[in-house]
Structure 1
Amino acid sequence: MKALVLKSYGRAGRIELTDIPRPLIKADELLVQVHAAGLNPSDNMMRNGEFRPIIKMRLPATMGSDLAGVVVEVGSRVRRFKVGDAVYASTFDLGMGSLAEFAAVPEHAAALKPANLDFVQAASIPMVGLTSWQAFHERAQLKPGQKVFIQAGSGGIGTFAIQLAKQLGARVGTTTSTANVELVRSLGADEVVDYKKQEFEETLQGYDAVLGTIKGDGLEKAMRIVNPKSMVMSLVGPPDAAMARARGMNFLMKFVFGLLSRKIIGLANKHEARYSFLFVRPDGGQLARIGELLETARIRPVIDKVFPFAQAKEGLAYLEQGRAKGKVVVQIVRT
Structure 2
Amino acid sequence: MATPSPLQPAAASGFDFAASGRRVIAIEVQGLEAIAARLDGAFTDACRAMLACKGRVVCTGMGKSGHVARKIAATLASTGTPSFFVHPGEAAHGDLGMITDADIVLALSYSGESDELLTVLPGLKRQGNLLIAMTGRPGSSLAREADVHLDASVPLEACPLALAPTASTTAALALGDALAVALLEARGFTAEDFARSHPAGALGRRLLLHIRDVMHAGDEVPRVRETATLSETLVEMSRKRLGMSAVVDADGKLLGLYTDGDLRRTLDDARIDLRSTPIATVMTKSPKVIGAEALAVEAAQLMEQYKINALLVVDDDHRVVGALNIHDLLRARVV
Shared fold (TM-score, shorter chain, > 0.5): no
* Higher-helix-fraction structure: 2
* Higher-strand-fraction structure: 1
Normalised by the shorter chain, which TM-score bucket?
Answer: under 0.3
Q: Give the TM-score taking structure 2 as reference length.
A: 0.26
Higher Rg of the two aligned structures:
2
Higher relative CO (Cα under 8 Å, sequence separation at least 6) belongs to 1
